[in-house]
Structure formats: structure tokens, C-alpha cells
Amino acid sequence: MAKKPHISETPATALLKANKIIFTEHPYEYLERGGAQHSAEVLGLNPYAVIKTLIMQDEKTMPLIVLMHGNRSVSTKNLARQIGAKSIEPCKPDVANRHSGYLVGGTSPFGTRKKMPVYIESDILTLERIWINGGRRGYLVGIHPEVCVQLLQATPVSCALPL
């Protein structure tokens, strides 16, 4: 029987455990710039159910988190309109790292360094299960999508675009 690789705890998994959230662990070979599409492919998952954690900012440089399907992009114009911002743009990687406490490619919405508002594409909440970053590159956790609302007070939005 093959031994599963041991995954050391991250701030994300510590938060999930502290809140008694049941999750599954899914390590994979990280590929620079591979993103959710790559992790879905190597883990045999539907990229629609692999959720990207995106650190963005509004026109006042206030950071926020957007949770989006792995095979969709964010309409920043639609998102800005829905949340009452003038504009939204992705943070530069070094800025995103500072806000989240994670390295881009390993960003989890759970256990971030800075408390930020979280917006979740509403269709994600219709899925039975999602796979989302567990706090390090090459590591997803499988959870029920409602956990994002329970733990993060994620606000549903509709801003998905085809990739």
C-alpha cells in the first residue's frame, strides 16, 4: 500500500481543524503558472470545481479575495459594480503575498495574514464539493462550498467569464 505524503499544517488547515471542518488533502506536483487548470488535470478533477483564490484590490488599494471557478476568469467590471467599487484589479504578486501571507500559487482564503472581504462566484455554492488551495503550492483541500460562507462570510457575486 502506497504511503500518502505527509502534509505539514498550514494556517489554512489549522483554521479548518480549529473549526472542526472535515476536509480531504490533495497534494500534487506544482507547476509554475499551471494554475487551477493544471491541478485539476493532474488530480483528475473538473476544473469548474477547482476554485482559484484571487487577491484583488479596489481603486483605494483596499484588498479583497475573489473565489472563482478554475476554468473561468473574473469580470472586474461586473464585480466592481456589484460591490460598489469604482474599479477592481488583481494585486501584483508581491502585494498579494503581503496581504495573504501566502505565496501566489499557494494562496488559500483560509488563515490569511490580513482580514479581507471575500466574494465567491455564486455558482460555486451549487457544487457538492470544491477543491481549493490549502495554503501551499501543490496542495488542495476538498471541502463543501458552504464552508466559505460559514468561515469567511463570503458574499455571493456573479462575475464569471469564460477563460
- What pLDDT score was predicted for residue 2? 45
Please check whether residue 10 is in contact with residue 134, taking contact to mean a CB–CB distance below 8 angstroms: yes
pTM for this predicted structure: 0.95
What average pLDDT does the structure give for the chain?
95
Q: In terms of residue numbers, what domain contains 96?
A: 11-162
Q: Are strands 50-58 and 88-90 parallel, antiparallel or unpaired?
A: antiparallel
Does residue 123 carry a pLDDT above 50? yes
152 phi and psi, to 5 degrees? -110, -5
Q: CATH no. for residue 137?
A: 3.90.960.10
Domain count, the chain: 1
Residue at 102: amino acid letter: Y
5 occurs within a structural domain = no
Instruction: Kindly provide the residue ranges of all beta strands, DSSP E only, lying in the chain, ordered along the sequence.
Output: 24-27, 50-58, 63-69, 72-74, 88-90, 118-121, 130-136, 139-143, 155-157, 160-162
Confidence class for position 3, pLDDT limits 50, 70, 90 = very low
pLDDT in tens, 37-88: 999 999 999 999 999 999 999 999 999 999 999 999 999 999 999 999 999 9
56 phi and psi, to 5 degrees? -125, 180
